[in-house]
């Protein structure tokens, strides 16, 4: 095992936005710029893109120092000249300091600063020629002056972003010279503050019916008063916490759009339904039948679509006249897209895929031994993996040969770290993050019942 704090750290787009105090849409616009660190797949499904924290920090320091400074744990990340809080600075002094902050070679013109003052985005002068403060012992001034403390507080303010240059590369012209008077970033990833059901469905590549079913769940944000829309940030938080596959798919789509590659096709129209509580009876004759496509089933049980396709191939098996393995239900609609009766699918999953059902019903998988505690980003080798998994599911470790076979056939997640990935800390064999291993153990079927991912 390699401890989680072994040097390198990796960040998602949301992590970067939180550290540098910018909108997620601004980070997405950075990802399309030249030189921004490329993402690498992570997570159990390998659909979440993460970036090296050090590389992101270095890129921002070179190209957008003002945003870089917002993420530094330092009293003076911008390297502003030292001096007394009561030192008096002129407009010319402030223009030079503003240029230093935003990375411009020439000072910001005094006319520009005067415009900021008139708009109220820059503080008024602390000293004027007629303020009579000189009678209290302060120096006499012949023009407007600002205390150094006032200027530095203004220079270190949180800043909004401007529209990237047409070339897509950052330059001095793209860095903002002012604060609240600058226009916000405009990009393909820009989102309104509230979303309709149709917009949520489009964002997360699901059907509108799926979103309406989400809205019936506990904890889903309520509609904004007097509208038929939902708060964008609140919906994002709920989906990220409760619908991890939909969240990961949306993030991958945003990355593809930002890089200019072909967009992922939207999911086929779905007819999903909210879950019946564990142990609930089947629908009555008066209730309409709910039909599920393969994609709906995958979303319902939080499984890869390949896994559900393998379920469809399961045939009945009998021994001595007794059914020991039930066949997957036959579709109730054979026209494309094919669909299955929800109650029949639920009954089959509950009987033959107990762990998938337990995860769906919220009862959790049954483990023979508790999973050892540790940091989610600890690195586990194949021996750690086989011992933890085997003890938890069968009471004894799985053999190394079996583990290697599972890995080569795609029956366990591909290793998060490989000997040739040139990442830190260096590894000389396949390693998995502890969170990848534990998510796999908690979501998979019992031993001998695997489907390739």
- DSSP per position, 2-62: B-TTSS--EE-HHHHHHHHT--HHHHHHHHTSTTPPPPEEESTTS-EEEEEHHHHHHHHHH
Partner residues linked to 141 by β-bridges: none
CA-to-CA dists, residue 345 to 126, 240, 294, 331, 339, angstroms: 73, 26, 11, 10, 10
Given CA atoms 144, 150, 155, 160 in this order, what sign does their dihedral have? negative
Each residue's pLDDT tens digit, 364-383: 666 767 888 888 888 999 99
Banded pLDDT at 449 (limits 50, 70, 90): very low
- For the question of whether the overall pTM of this predicted structure is more than 0.85, the answer is no
Share of the chain above pLDDT 90, in %: 8
Per-residue confidence (pLDDT) for residue 330, from 0 to 100: 93
Distance between CA atoms of residues 198 and 235, nearest Å: 13
Banded pLDDT at 198 (limits 50, 70, 90): confident
Distance between CA atoms of residues 16 and 212, nearest Å: 31
Distance between CA atoms of residues 428 and 418, nearest Å: 7
The domains located in the chain, with CATH, are: 88-155 (no CATH), 194-259 (1.10.1660), 291-361 (no CATH), 379-443 (no CATH)
Distance between CA atoms of residues 90 and 85, nearest Å: 14
Reported as type and span, the H/E element at residue 98 is: helix 91-102
Mean pLDDT for 183-194 is 48
Tell me the H-state helices in 362-399.
382-393
Distance between CA atoms of residues 176 and 277, nearest Å: 53
Per-residue confidence (pLDDT) for residue 439, from 0 to 100: 86
Distance between CA atoms of residues 360 and 358, nearest Å: 5
């Amino acid at each position: 095992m390699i401890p989680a704090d072994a040097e390198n750290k990796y960040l998602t787009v949301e992590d970067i936005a939180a550290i540098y105090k910018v909108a997620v849409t601004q980070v997405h616009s950075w990802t399309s710029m030249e030189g921004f660190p490329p993402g690498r797949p992570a997570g159990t499904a390998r659909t979440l893109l993460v970036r090296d924290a050090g590389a992101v920090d270095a890129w921002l320091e070179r190209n957008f120092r003002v945003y870089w400074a917002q993420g530094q744990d330092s009293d003076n990340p911008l390297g502003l000249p030292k001096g007394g809080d009561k030192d008096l600075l002129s407009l010319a002094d402030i223009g030079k300091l503003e240029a230093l902050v935003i990375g411009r070679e020439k000072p910001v013109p005094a006319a520009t600063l005067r415009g900021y003052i008139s708009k109220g985005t820059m503080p008024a002068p602390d000293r004027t020629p007629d303020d009579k403060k000189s009678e209290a012992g302060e120096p006499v001034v012949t023009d407007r002056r600002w205390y150094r403390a006032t200027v530095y507080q203004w220079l270190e303010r949180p800043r909004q972003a401007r529209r990237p240059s047409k070339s897509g590369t950052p330059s001095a012209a793209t860095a903002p010279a002012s604060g609240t008077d600058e226009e916000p970033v405009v990009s393909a990833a820009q989102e309104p503050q509230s979303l309709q059901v149709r917009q949520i469905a489009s964002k997360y590549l699901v059907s509108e019916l799926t979103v309406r079913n989400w809205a019936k769940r506990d904890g889903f944000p309520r509609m904004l008063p007097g509208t038929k829309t939902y708060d964008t940030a609140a919906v994002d938080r709920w989906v990220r916490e409760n619908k991890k596959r939909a969240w990961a798919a949306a993030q991958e789509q945003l990355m593809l759009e930002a890089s200019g590659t072909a967009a992922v096709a939207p999911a086929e129209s779905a007819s999903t339904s909210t879950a019946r509580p564990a142990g609930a009876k089947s629908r009555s004759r008066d209730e309409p039948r709910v039909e599920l496509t393969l994609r709906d089933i995958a979303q319902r049980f939080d499984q890869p679509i390949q896994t559900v396709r393998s379920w469809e191939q399961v045939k009945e098996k009998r021994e001595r006249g007794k059914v020991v393995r039930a066949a997957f239900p036959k579709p109730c609609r054979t026209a494309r897209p094919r669909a299955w009766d929800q109650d029949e699918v639920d009954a089959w999953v509950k009987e033959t895929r107990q762990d998938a059902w337990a995860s769906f019903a919220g009862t959790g998988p049954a483990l023979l031994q508790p999973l050892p505690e540790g940091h989610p980003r600890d690195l586990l080798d194949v021996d750690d993996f086989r011992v933890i998994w085997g003890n938890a599911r069968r009471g004894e470790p799985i053999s190394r040969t079996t583990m290697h076979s599972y890995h080569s056939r795609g029956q366990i997640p591909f290793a998060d770290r490989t000997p040739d990935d040139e990442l830190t800390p260096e590894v000389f064999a396949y390693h998995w993050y502890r969170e990848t291993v534990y998510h796999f153990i908690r979501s998979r079927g019992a031993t001998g019942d695997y489907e390739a991912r």
